[in-house]
A and B are shown apart, each in its own frame.
Chain A
Amino acid sequence: MGGMRVPGMIYTSDKMLGNIGTDQSPKQVANVAHLPGILKYSMAMPDMHWGYGFPIGGVAAFDLNEGVISPGGVGYDINCGVRLMATRLFFGDIKDRLHDLVTALFQNIPTGVGSKGSLKLSVSEEKKVLREGASWAVARGFGEAGDLETTEDRGVMEGADPDLVSDRALDRGKQQLGTLGSGNHFLEIEVVEEIFDETAARAFGLELNQVAVVIHSGSRGLGYQVCDDYLARMVKTMAKLDFQLPDRQLACAYLASDAGRRYLAAMACAANYAWANRQMLMHWTRETFERTLRKSPRDMGMRLVYDVCHNIAKIEEFVIDGKKKKVCVHRKGATRALPPGHRALPDRYRAVGQPVLIPGDMGTGSYVLVGTEKAFHETFGSTCHGAGRVMSRSQAKKASRGRSIVREMADRHVIVMATGKGTLQEEIPEAYKDVDSVVDIVHNAGLSKKVARLRAVGCIKG
């Protein structure tokens, strides 16, 4: 083994350090540090847990000439991400209609294992989705042009080449566009319950008691298959590389190689699919709110605050040792957090910085944070992505045996509807790290600053 090329850096607290010791994620941080061309540190955010190859919560940037790109550094669910929509409504306006709203959302948004979208997509149309991302959805009436303004990278990754996506992946993707998925994916109605930063909250259009919606979903089977296909290819060619890997799942290719460029172009397709998917889910959410509450789009005013991806590799520019440099940042369970003034931000947010969306565990709520200069210089503009699992799915099932999770949630004033009963048991709140603690760590470390906390009032899951 070549040994670690850079140090590892884990953002955590004394309290959370106890959790970290119980899995192999620190070892995975060290493994990532072995990869050629890695810059500064192999990093992990406080929601870190055991992943495949890279830890979840991992951030690593690579030199474009000497560095590598790894499908395992992005994850199976390419461009899994979060979208926050704000409305003109306040909790009092929907309190008595909440059950109807959750029921209608559950009926209108395809959720759950093997769910299929209502759309019949030809392969040539699917390839357009892969090239155009969220703008494909907007052009076909799923949402408004303004939605693209507040989507990370305007909902499209450049360089996508659908011809590099396998038939298997296209096949899986064709049936699933416009579906939420299962597992930890969800759509939640939330209410702003606390504001920490008035200026940023105003810029993001958030105020106390306001009703908002959070969508957590990704690229579905298409993304899993792209990851799997390229991982298999890179495992095959690993022996030919001039370095050894401590874990097969870290299989990678030089960014400057044909194999590296091909993965990046296929990954971009999956990223674009995910953006189109979340755009469609948002459109149906808008329609459902308007119909159920009998309000015009104008009165409802459901507006996209922001959409972030938290499983991605991207070429971005940073200042390293005083010089501007383009690098490839892997964020696997980590969120981009750009500082005030960054040119990639829409005008309305440029003065305050990028909104960062951190969903908590089921029925808890979410945080909105804002990107900082410190993250830009220290973590390649990255921060945490969520609560992070502490219990395995089977442990969670065991812990929830004999309990009615729906009723427990109702006692906490959250209406939950799920396709699969098992999903609710696997996703019980105690299966996750406490999101408040995770967010406090990145806030205190200055990687992003707290803007608002939202509490969940309704939730649909797969």
Chain B
Amino acid sequence: MGRDTRKGQPRYAVFDHTADLGLEIYGIDERELFVNAAFALFDSMTDMSCVKRVVTRSFEIEGSDREDLLVNFLREMLALYNGDGLLVKDVCLDTFTGSHVAGTAVGDLFDSSKHRIIMEIKAVTYHMLRVDQTSRGWRGRVICDV
């Protein structure tokens, strides 16, 4: 789903989980994994072709390990929508370590005349959470409560 990463694999795929939304996210490195994770979240929520790059918000997130950092990062992205109504089109990471990430999210504020919410994502969970290095780069698995 979404445009291909530099190595030609999809940015993310959806996997099945009883009541919820499972996202398997790919990236050639950890930075790309995080950028693609934000994309996966919002691509599941809305039609991204209708979201313009007009509003930016900066963020700074910490986590005790990669998995925790990924969940906290996605929580922050979801909060940008739930708080300000920001539909995130893309993120730019200024700093990234295994336990800290800072950068800017860019997108558009939700407007019912322009955007449609296909799926309400209640929360990003720790359930079956994984971040692994694979032969093709990095892979993350996150389940969202919808």
Known: A168-B82, A171-B82. A49 touches B19 (CB 8 A): yes
Inter-chain contact A76/B122, CB cutoff 8 Å: yes
CB-defined contacts of B83 to chain A, threshold 8 Å: 168, 171-172
Q: How far is the CA of A404 from the CA of B14 in the complex (A)?
A: 25
CB pair B82–A393 under 8 Å, yes or no, is no
Of all chain A residues, which has the CB nearest B125? A52
Number of A-B residue pairs with CB-CB distance less than 8 Å in the complex they form: 81
Please name the 7 residue pairs, one residue from A and one from B, whose CB atoms are nearest each other, closest first: A248-B126, A113-B120, A392-B16, A224-B122, A249-B126, A52-B127, A113-B117
B122 partner, pick from A23, A77, A395, beta carbons under 8 A: A77
B69 to chain A, nearest CB (A): 12
Find chain A residues with CB under 8 A from B55 CB.
Answer: none
Interface residues in chain B, defined as those with a beta carbon under 8 Å from any beta carbon in chain A: 14, 16-21, 64, 67-68, 72, 75, 79, 82-83, 110, 117-120, 122-127, 129, 143, 145-146
Which A residues are CB-close (under 8 A) to B64?
235-236, 239
| A385, chain B: closest CB distance, angstroms | 13
A113 cross-chain contacts in B, Cβ below 8 A: 117-120
The answer to whether the Cβ of A225 comes within 8 Å of any Cβ in the partner chain is: yes
Using known A-B contacts A113-B119, A248-B126, A248-B129, determine if residue A225 contacts B16 with beta carbons closer than 8 Å.
no
Chain B's closest residue to A398 (CB) is B16
Interface class of chain B by DSSP: mixed
CA–CA, A77 and B18, complex, Å: 17
Can you name 18 A-B residue pairings with CB atoms under 8 Å?
A23-B18, A50-B19, A52-B127, A76-B122, A76-B145, A113-B117, A114-B120, A168-B82, A171-B83, A172-B83, A183-B120, A224-B123, A225-B82, A231-B126, A235-B64, A248-B67, A393-B146, A422-B118
A36-73 vs B: 1/0 string, CB under 8 Å? 00000000000001101100100000000000000000
Bound-complex Cα distance A183 to B14 (A) = 18
Q: Which residues of chain A come closer than 8 Å to B125, judged between CB atoms?
A: 52, 249
Measured between alpha carbons, how far is A390 from B16 in the docked complex, in Å?
12
Interface size class of A (residues with CB under 8 A): 35 or more
Q: A56 to B75, alpha carbons, bound, how many Å? A: 23
Of B79, B125, B129, the most chain A CB neighbours within 10 A belong to B125
Q: How far is the CA of A324 from the CA of B123 in the complex (A)?
A: 38
Docked complex Cα distance between A276 and B26 (Å): 43
User: Is the beta-carbon distance between A389 and B19 smaller than 8 angstroms?
Assistant: yes
Chain B residues whose C-beta falls within 8 Å of the C-beta of A49 in the assembled complex: 18-19
CB-CB under 8 A from A168, the residues of chain B are: 79, 82-83
A395-B16 in contact given A76-B145, A168-B82 (Cβ < 8 Å)? yes
Q: Is A153 an interface residue (CB 8 A)?
A: no
Tell me whether B120 and A182 are in contact (CB under 8 A): yes
Cα separation A235 to B126 with both chains bound (whole Å): 10
Which of the residues A227, A393, A395 comes within 8 Å of B21, measured between beta carbons?
A: A393
For the complex, what is the distance from the CA of A183 to the CA of B20, rounded to whole Å? 10
| Contacting pair A76 B123 (CB below 8 A) | yes
Q: Which A residues touch B146, using CB under 8 A?
A: 183, 393
Known contacts A168-B79, A225-B82; A393 and B122 CB within 8 A of each other: no
Looking at B14, B82, B83, the one whose CB has the most chain A CB atoms below 10 A away is B82
Asked, given contacts A23-B18, A183-B146, A394-B16, whether A114 binds B126 with beta carbons under 8 Å apart, the answer is no
Whether the Cβ atoms of B17 and A392 lie closer than 8 Å is yes
Cα-based distance from A391 to B110 in the complex (angstroms): 31
- A50 and B17 in contact (CB under 8 A), knowing A172-B82, A249-B127? yes
A319 at the interface (CB under 8 A from B): no
